[in-house]
Structure 1
Amino acid sequence: MKVLFVLTSHDKLGDTGKKTGFWVEEFAGPYYTLKDKGVEITLATPKGGKAPIDPSSDTEDASTESTERFHNDKEAQERINTTHKLSDVNASDYDAVFYPGGHGPLWDLANDATSIKLIETFNEQEKPVAFVCHAPAALKNVKGTDGEPLVKGKKVTGFTNSEEKAVELVDVVPFLVEDMLKENGGIYSKGDDWSEYALQDGRLITGQNPASSKKVAEMLYDLVK
């Protein structure tokens, strides 16, 4: 089984002067969940090269078993530093695609033409597409085969407005994931803030927050195997 991971290249948190990027747990949890099952994983970003880590996700507070494993895994770190360029990637080479979150995708993947086309191609090829936390931002401009938003009429979740409020970034982010999914016609639902919550509707899998990342990977694996 071959799964493509698409991470953000964006590292600026709006006009705050602070850094952002991808959330370590949302990469590491799914990465090891799938890798330990023998899945072949390829990493790609819009710009290629080093995928930026969100410093907020690299703290003692945000630490998990998976993030600890990542910090001791030179091979995985090297892969994060040398991702493929998204435009060089071909959907036909993979069985599924997974997007880890972090705030970065709100700025780049939401509007990246290559990423949009890639998700649409995976969907046309009837392959699973999975997103966690802020990564559903990448679905903002993605259309289904009927020309309507891909999420329209589908059960979806993603980082909640109340979670965004809790991290005090409502006024910093370009849009709120929950609002965007609803505006695009998604049937949005959520669990309690910071609790594990993931949904599958057909080949579309979405998870609410970092706590949901492994669950999303497990659902993705079950869908492909």
Structure 2
Amino acid sequence: MCTAIRQSGGASKTFARGRSPGNRIMSKRILHVVSNVAHYADPSQPTGLWLSELTHAHHIFAARGYEQQLVSPKGGVSPLEPRSLKWPHADAASKAWRADKANAALLAHTARPDEIDPAGFDAIYFTGGHAVMWDYPDDAGLQRLTREIYEHGGIVSSVCHGYCGLLNTKLSNGSLLVAGRRITGYSWVEEILAGVAKKVPYNVEQQMRERGARYEKALLPFTSNVVVDGRIVTGQNPQSAKATAEQVVALLSLGAPAHV
């Protein structure tokens, strides 16, 4: 599968959290964000975390020896999007994750934002699924984690609808994190083609543009597309999860981009 990678911003030589005071290499730490929402506005229509958006990234980070933790707006259970568990969306990685009891426990017992010290993480990664359109955008706890991780030199990343979590995050100077930044995420065309445009609460692509983000998307829907703008890494859709995580790894390995 071909992935479009659009990148801007140079990289510094070192990453602030790369070494301990004793100059020992430290393991990077990734904070995954997942949803607590289990259905659309109509309770009879289930939704939740799109599992592969977590499992593909988790696998990439685990292969590098990174420590990983899950957080959700309310803590506790993160429901799964039923469609993500069926063919053709449920791949080997997703099936293996569900078969592992330890992994299942991670999704049953996620932390709350107020239980997380953002100073301990090198990157935050927002997973998607339509569920996040309800509980990500206005969650003050997630906004605090995102702001503090970014402002201490960390990476902010998202995949698919995960960019809903970036919509309203403001930096300490009061500016929106996404204003003027190159961003991608699930497009309105993809919402229409997926048959859910009438079920979602808003057009997140439009919302991003209204906040001053420079939204970009692939020419072909449902193809892998990743945009890197400094220390903000965003993937367009479920097909982009692996490549998004790989770009986060690249930044952590080579050093965080210097421009903010």
TM-score, length of structure 2 as denominator length: 0.83
| CA-to-aligned-CA distance 1:49-91 (integer Å, 9 cap, x gap) | 1111111111122122321221222221111111112221110
Runs of 4+ in 1 over 6 A off after TM superposition: none
SS at match of 1:200: strand
SS at match of 1:84: coil
Structure 1 position 16, deviation (Å): 5.6
Structure 1 position 222, deviation (Å): 1.4
Q: 1:41 aligns with which of 62, 68, 84?
A: 68
Letter of the structure 1 residue corresponding to residue 230 of structure 2: G
Q: How does 1:30-109 map to 2 (within 5 A)?
A: 30-109=57-136
Distance 1:144 1:222 in 2: 24
Is 1:221–2:236 an aligned residue pair? no
Distance 1:65 1:36 in 2: 16
1:6 corresponds to which residue?
33
TM-score, length of structure 1 as denominator length: 0.96
Letter of the structure 1 residue corresponding to residue 232 of structure 2: L
Distance 1:65 1:206 in 2: 24
Structure 1 position 145, deviation (Å): 4.1
Structure 1 position 7, deviation (Å): 0.6
SS at match of 2:45: coil
Structure 1 position 94, deviation (Å): 0.9
Letter of the structure 2 residue corresponding to residue 58 of structure 1: L
SS at match of 1:134: helix
Largest Rg, 1 or 2? 2
Task: Please say if residues 158 and 190 of structure 1, whose CA atoms lie closer than 8 Å, have aligned partners that are also in contact.
Answer: yes
Identity of aligned residues (%): 30
More relative contact order in 1 or in 2 (CA 8 Å, sep 6+)?
2
Task: Please say if residues 23 and 57 of structure 1, whose CA atoms lie closer than 8 Å, have aligned partners that are also in contact.
Answer: yes
Residue correspondences, number: 225
Letter of the structure 1 residue corresponding to residue 250 of structure 2: D
Distance 1:90 1:6 in 2: 14
Q: How does 1:1-225 map to 2 (within 5 A)?
A: 1-15=28-42, 17-191=44-218, 192-225=220-253
Q: CA RMSD in A?
A: 1.2
Structure 1 unaligned blocks of 5 or more:
none
Deviates more, 1:141-150 or 1:88-97: 141-150
Structure 2 unaligned blocks of 5 or more:
1-27, 254-260
| CA-to-aligned-CA distance 1:164-220 (integer Å, 9 cap, x gap) | 001222122111221111111111111121100011101101000000001111111
Letter of the structure 2 residue corresponding to residue 211 of structure 1: Q
Distance 1:15 1:144 in 2: 34
